[in-house]
Structure 1
Amino acid sequence: MYRVDPKEAVLSHLNQPNDRAGEALSARAEALMRAHVEPGWSHKVISGVAQLAEAAMLLVVGFAIYLYYVGWAAPQIYVPLMLGTVLSANIAFNIARTHRIVSYRTQFKQILRVLFGWSSVFLIIVAGLFVMKAGEEISRVWLTSWLLAGAVALIAYRLALRALVLTWSEQGKLKRRTVVVGGGPDAEALIANISRGATNDIELIGLFDDREGDRSPDQVAGLYKLGRVADLVEFARRARIDLVIVSMPLSAESRVLEMLRQLWVLPVDIRLSAHMSKLRFTDKTYSYVGDLPVFDMADRPISDWNLVFKWVFDKVVALSAIIALSPIMIGTALAVRFTSKGPVLFKQKRHGFNNELIEIYKFRSMYTDMSDAKAATLVTRDDPRVTPVGRFIRKTSIDELPQLFNVLKGQLSIVGPRPHALEAKAANRLYHDAVDGYFARHKVKPGITGWAQIHGWRGETDTVDKIMKRVDHDLYYIENWSIVLDLYILVMTPVSLFTKTENAF
């Protein structure tokens, strides 16, 4: 049940008996965290791409037959009809639930449903043409040829898609790495329920439970207990967990709330299993993990297609900005180089997505012998460590422009919570000690600019209240993210640079 690199030597260790339970569990969890894990692929994105490719294929087949047999006659009739047919076919395929990873793995079942949907769409078209008395305007040979050629193309496409999905499944690219919170008979029933669904793409990694003894044994249904709920935060980050399923009854309200309080900082989906509940709700109340009904407690903020859209947005904006701002960046680099000794760029370790360490780039704004790589002492007004050029580029945020290359490397986004230095403090307290839930900012990739920055919360954070305001704005952004919000922040960033400068120095 462990998804680890087969080359890892830890596999043999994982199967050793538990002579000393605490140490063995700790060693097992550490081994899983060290193991190399390939990121999984989004089912929704694969399904979306598959639908687009299928629609394009059907349109090309219909258009090719149209050009060959009909020529370019009456395009005002044929082109809308082809587009409407393909759109209707896609709707029919989705109604028949053929655009799911589970369906892609089947052979005869998905082909029969696809052919039934394709034929039904043509029957509706023929009926519509008959009712509107427009049959004479459409070539019957073209229509029949498209029906048959489209059916053959669909069969070939679906067989190829099935082979591709099965290959990806064997490679583990469609798996969701999952841990269970809970133990005992309830967790055993949950694990059995998940395991019965062989095609649900859930890979169970381990158990986490605060209870001890008979109520929570070290192994349940072949799945090892790896630690307590508090340990899950660090484990989920380092072991790249996608999904947390909580096996607790709804009546255990205090336990569920405490668990959520600890886990909400993670960029994972959290589901509360409904398999133990005696209450029965309507189907719309539940979502499903395979065939297991669950309640949605928390979702990863940006995932599936939204992740694709944000990736494209970041790359396009970063590349365009580098080209457009290259004269300013070159001029700044020369000014830094010839007005003070030292490198042009300043590199600093900061926390990125999911608390991972990244190295960001900035134009150096301090004297080299006074630089503070860990930002143990925040920059203040008229700070003697800052060079004359540094004061200008810090106030105008020009010093941040090299981070556009961090965006191209995939370490930053254009818009997101600003990454903070590792030892940055507010009122002599580290940020994560000063603000409860501070690390929830890292549920998304950090950005060059953000919701907090355009509202003036940038620069010095000499009080706890200032960092709390910044974190509050960051969390608002995470909970309300959209591409439109990113565009708004991007447009408002240059405005805020000139209107909200009281904290920038």
Structure 2
Amino acid sequence: MNKPSGSLIDRSLPGLAEAKIAPSLERRRLRTYTLMLIADGLMLHAAFIFAAYIYEGVWWQNRTMLAAQTILPLYFTIALYNSTYSGRALRDWIFGARQAVIAIIISAAMVNFIAFYMKANAEFSRVAVTLGLVLFLTALVWSRWAMIKLIGMFWGGRTRNFLVIDDEGPKFSLDTADVISAKKFGIDPTGHDPFMLDRLGKLLRNQDKVVVSCDRSRRLEWAFLLKSSGVHGEIVSEPAHDLGALGVHRYVDPARTTLVVSTGPLGLRGRVGKRAFDMVVASAGLLALSPVLLIVAAAIKLEDGGPVFFIQRRLGRGNQFFDMYKFRSMRVDNLDADGARSTGRSDDRITRIGAFIRRTSIDELPQILNVLRGEMSIVGPRPHALGSRANNKYFWEVDQQYWQRHCLKPGLTGLAQVRGHRGATEQEKDLTDRLQSDLEYVSRWSLLTDFIIVLKTIAVLRHDNAY
């Protein structure tokens, strides 16, 4: 047998443990958006309550409150689509106030237009409604100004994480950005070492924008790495067609131009929707399948007394490593931590219960725990073991686009699996077929696609290539 064309040696640098990993600001922003939604709803009701009291002398006037409750859902719908609740609104109170004012004016106009054609205008008190809108507009503008002050007070004005990677390119810095040296952390964009990519993935974790300053000769490689990492990435450069730039960003101090080469496959709404889908399906699945999980765990333990779970390091989102859970299907003394040997038919390492749970894909069910931990999704590219090979080559040596499949979280199931691309990867085509499906899924993701793949997965749990 030929030796594999590469070698896997852990080249992790001791300094990485001391690196400043950016805190997650996305959850902070989401909580703030939620509080803004609640506050706007309360302010609208309060404004109309005071308007009714000022004009009619009662705190709760049904006609006035009917108008408020009709306007509110329209306001929220328009506000969610015109960036009233957005990152920019957290940084620029004038922008946030303007978008909120636009949303409420459009909402009120729509209600008035509908009421006119339904001849329901008489149901509303025009003076009270107008006064309520004026009070609400005043409260909106004040609340956006106050929010910026509070963000400056408690967060230091930081609502996004920026990272600048200095790879010996033009000098570049941002006021709120962290700056790291690619050389210090052993980041070489021309290499395809999974341990180096894991280091880079950890450094990019939670970053909202990454700007790389490098030599002209290394821009293509950095563009590829940023696209594979699933982050918003920019390269300090003059426009160049062969980088496939998605846009141009100009900075004043210092005077530099960057090319936007990646934005990540999912926006905020997409990430929130996909995570919500994962949590609902994983929680329901864990509850429904708990008897099966307990029976299988007991059967594995009774067969040879070994551990129930097999925990293996896999490549996940942003090319970072994570520990994936499976039911142990092999004998304890034959476990393959790196996945260097693909499982074949009649594999002598597999136990009796292991053969059954592999044929029925039950061995994959503990990955529900990885989904709940946020390391995996219900649907996504399947995570591969680090030592996996096709035609005696590591997967990334077969096709360098392999790294781009990791811009999304890996999944319990995926488009490749429902298309029948499962089992051992003996030939390079076995990998490229899966890679093509994975990249197609990444480029065309939608919640509907995830739902359809989940339904199709049920039909292929028992498959000829599952062994």
Do Structure 1 and Structure 2 share a fold, with TM-score over 0.5? yes
Q: Spell out the pairing of 1:6-25 with structure 2 (5 A cutoff).
A: none
Is it true that 1:504 corresponds to 2:431 in the alignment? Answer: no
Q: Which residue of 2 aligns with 1:16?
A: none
Q: Which residue of 2 aligns with 1:243?
A: 209
Q: Which residue of 2 aligns with 1:12?
A: none
Q: Is the 8 A contact 2:235 2:260 kept in 1?
A: yes
Amino acid of the structure 2 residue aligned with 1:164: L
Give the C-alpha shift of residue 369 in structure 1.
2.2
Change (3 A) 1:373 1:452: same
Change (3 A) 1:115 1:326: closer
Q: Spell out the pairing of 1:302-341 with structure 2 (5 A cutoff).
A: 302-341=266-305
Cα distance in 1 for partners of 2:317, 2:434 equals 17
**Residue among 19, 35, 39 paired with 1:34:** 19
Q: Which residue of 1 aligns with 2:10?
A: none
Q: Spell out the pairing of 1:32-431 with structure 2 (5 A cutoff).
A: 34-41=19-26, 49=34, 52-53=37-38, 55-61=40-46, 64=49, 69=59, 71-73=61-63, 78=67, 81-83=70-72, 86=75, 90=79, 94=82, 101=87, 104-105=90-91, 109=94, 113=98, 136-167=122-153, 169-170=155-156, 172-179=158-165, 183=169, 187=170, 191=172, 195=174, 203=177, 205=179, 229-230=189-190, 236-240=200-204, 242-245=208-211, 257=220, 259-261=222-224, 263-271=226-234, 276=238, 286=247, 288=249, 296-431=260-395
Give the C-alpha shift of residue 394 in structure 1.
0.2
Deviations 1:162-184 (A, max 9, x none): 1333246527442322336773x
Cα distance in 2 for partners of 1:112, 1:341 equals 64
SS at match of 1:39: coil
Q: Is the 8 A contact 1:350 1:359 kept in 2?
A: yes
Give the C-alpha shift of residue 256 in structure 1.
5.3
Change (3 A) 1:164 1:455: farther
Give the C-alpha shift of residue 462 in structure 1.
1.7
Give the C-alpha shift of residue 391 in structure 1.
0.9
Change (3 A) 1:162 1:343: same
Q: Is the 8 A contact 2:90 2:159 kept in 1?
A: no
Q: Is the 8 A contact 1:70 1:139 kept in 2?
A: no
Amino acid of the structure 1 residue aligned with 2:394: L
Q: Is the 8 A contact 1:122 1:147 kept in 2?
A: no
Deviations 1:72-112 (A, max 9, x none): 3598x636753477369849x95xx87665554556x5698
Query: Which segments of 5 or more consecutive residues in structure 1 lack a partner in the other structure?
Result: 1-27, 210-223, 280-284
Deviations 1:261-300 (A, max 9, x none): 45432222234668x5699xxxxx9564677876543221
416-425 or 161-170: bigger deviation: 161-170
SS at match of 2:461: helix
305-314 or 171-180: bigger deviation: 171-180
Amino acid of the structure 2 residue aligned with 1:41: E
Q: Is the 8 A contact 1:365 1:399 kept in 2?
A: yes
Percent of residue pairs bearing the same amino acid type: 28
SS at match of 2:400: coil
Give the C-alpha shift of residue 323 in structure 1.
0.5
Change (3 A) 1:478 1:227: closer
Amino acid of the structure 1 residue aligned with 2:209: L
Is it true that 1:455 corresponds to 2:416 in the alignment? Answer: no
SS at match of 2:179: strand
Change (3 A) 1:416 1:156: same
Cα distance in 2 for partners of 1:372, 1:127 equals 69
SS at match of 1:392: helix
Deviations 1:302-354 (A, max 9, x none): 24221111111111111100001112112211222222331222211212222
Q: Is the 8 A contact 1:248 1:273 kept in 2?
A: yes
Cα distance in 1 for partners of 2:284, 2:112 equals 51
Amino acid of the structure 2 residue aligned with 1:158: R
Cα distance in 1 for partners of 2:382, 2:104 equals 54
Change (3 A) 1:377 1:244: same
SS at match of 1:350: strand
Amino acid of the structure 2 residue aligned with 1:82: I
Q: Is the 8 A contact 1:423 1:430 kept in 2?
A: yes
Deviations 1:140-168 (A, max 9, x none): 45224413432453245224311333246
Q: Is the 8 A contact 2:248 2:258 kept in 1?
A: yes
Amino acid of the structure 1 residue aligned with 2:366: P
Cα distance in 2 for partners of 1:31, 1:421 equals 23
Cα distance in 2 for partners of 1:35, 1:168 equals 20
Give the C-alpha shift of residue 59 in structure 1.
3.7
135-144 or 487-496: bigger deviation: 135-144
Amino acid of the structure 1 residue aligned with 2:466: A
Change (3 A) 1:205 1:33: farther
SS at match of 1:419: coil
Change (3 A) 1:119 1:370: closer
SS at match of 2:132: helix
Change (3 A) 1:397 1:144: same
Cα distance in 2 for partners of 1:417, 1:49 equals 31
Q: Is the 8 A contact 2:85 2:96 kept in 1?
A: no
SS at match of 1:297: strand
SS at match of 1:359: strand
Cα distance in 1 for partners of 2:448, 2:391 equals 35
Could you state the TM-score of these two structures normalised by the residue count of structure 2? 0.76
SS at match of 2:165: strand
Amino acid of the structure 2 residue aligned with 1:166: G
SS at match of 2:62: coil
